[in-house]
Amino acid sequence: MKVGVLGAGTMGAGIAQVAAQSGHKVVLVDVNQEAINTAKEKLLKIIERLIEKGKWTQDFGDEVFGRILFSNEVEDFKGAGLIIEAIVENIDIKHSVFSKLESIVDEDCILASNTSSLSIAAIGSILKNPRRVIGIHFFNPAPLMPLAEIIPAVQTSDEVKDQARQIIDSWEKVTVLAKDTPGFIVNRVARPFYGEALRIYEEGIADFATIDWAMKELGGFRMGPFTLMDYIGNDVNYTVTETVFKAFYYDPRYKPSFTQKRHSEAGYYGRKSGRGYYDYSENAKAVEP
Ligand code: NAI
């Protein structure tokens, strides 16, 4: 089965890799040529590293890379059985993209979104056949994180739900069914994790490095909240918080933070822009708690 992935950013590139290494022909589409080039370069580096470490053979690496068509034409999705959208977290843009996708693909193609916080029912509402919409939510980095949430909307058919889950199970992911509610399971639990860390900083209780150190060394988390937000991207993370906050009728538990908003507005997205709560540039000084 041919798999289409729309958006070649952090998530889309990783999802394309997972699908290709599971044996699918993949079409990875982005409107931005630079994003495509970056995705291609990153994948080549990842494959090189896996070969160096002896995890993949050169042949397997070549095969996986060869299965992905990098493109900026959604028309290349023709004939796909599953498309996973991983573009900007904006319902209007997702609507126009899903309408376009439906006009290109066959009747039995599943249209999935990797959205972290938008309603799958709302995304599917503009489709002529909304029974084919579903949420398939991967975690960053998609090739390494084992979990995927499968989110059927009220309109999703049982066949689409079962098929989608089977496909993602066959990609050796651990799938969990989640209801179509803001943040689903993981992102809902995660909002107060980031939010409270930002509030602790804003109240002057501790700086980023100290909070991260405490959560990692004392709390047993693999990463502290600021390191994790820099990994996810402050632009993406802020938008998700804002969406979840609004979707829960402005419940103060999910209130977004000005610190994160300003970081995002300044382009301090995190690792991907070289600067977030920490400095990732070449001459950055190590940060000690
Ligand atoms: P990103 O900003 O790294 O990548 C988005 C890509 O989509 C960009 O390359 C952009 O050029 C492209 N794009 C935007 N509009 C487009 C269009 N109309 N057609 C084709 N390409 C278009 O974003 P990221 O982090 O990959 O997030 C994508 C989606 O995945 C969002 O819905 C986000 O909520 C979700 N997500 C993000 C996670 C993360 O940790 N970053 C984790 C799980 C889900």
- Going from N- to C-terminal start, the domains of the chain cover 2-177, 188-273
| Architecture label for domain 188-273 | Orthogonal Bundle (1.10)
Per-residue DSSP letters for 86-134? ---S-HHHHHHHHHHHHHHS-TT-EEEE--SSS-HHHHHTT-SSGGGEE
List, for residues 218-257, the tens digit of each pLDDT value: 999 999 999 999 999 999 999 999 999 999 999 999 999 9
Name the active-site residue from 187, 234, 237, 257.
Answer: 187
Q: Catalytic: 237?
A: no
- To the query of whether residue 96 is one of the catalytic residues in this protein, the response is no
Q: How far is CA 182 from CA 56, 94, 246, 251, in A?
A: 38, 16, 9, 12
Q: Which helix (H) or strand (E) holds 54?
A: none
- Closest of 23, 19, 17 to residue 39, by C-alpha: 17
pLDDT at 288 over 90: no
Q: What percent of the chain has pLDDT over 70?
A: 98
What are the tens digits of pLDDT across the range 113-163?
999 989 999 999 999 999 999 999 999 999 999 999 999 999 999 999 999
Testing ligand 1's pocket by substitution, the residue of 30, 37, 93, 228 carrying the most ligand atoms inside 8 A of its CB is: 30
CA 49 / ligand 1 centre spacing (Å): 25
Is residue 40 over pLDDT 60?
yes
From 113, 114, 116, 119, the catalytic residue = 116
Averaged confidence pLDDT in the chain: 96
Mean pLDDT of 18-43: 98
> What class has domain 2-177?
alpha beta
Cα distances from 277 to residues 31, 140, 189, 224, 255, in angstroms, run 29, 18, 22, 12, 19
Closest CA to 233 of 280, 181, 196: 280
pLDDT at res. 117: 87
Give pLDDT tens digits for 160-200: 999 999 999 999 999 999 999 999 999 999 999 999 999 99
Predicted TM-score (pTM) of this structure = 0.91
Mutate to test the pocket of ligand 1, among 31, 40, 73, 236 (most ligand atoms within 8 A of CB): 236
Question: Are 3 and 81 contacting, i.e. CB atoms less than 8 angstroms apart?
Answer: yes
pLDDT score for 148: 98
**Residue 32 is a catalytic residue:** no
Q: Which residues line ligand 1 (CB under 6 A)?
A: 6-12, 29-32, 35, 86-89, 93, 97, 114-116, 137-140, 232-233, 236, 240
Identify the residue whose tokens are 């991983």.
86
* CA dist., res. 160 & res. 152, Å (int): 8
CB 9 within 8 A of CB 43: no
Mean pLDDT of 15-33: 98
Count the Cβ atoms, other than its own, within 10 Å of residue 107: 8
Which of 85, 89, 102, 149 is catalytic? The answer is: 149
Tokens of 14: 């990783």
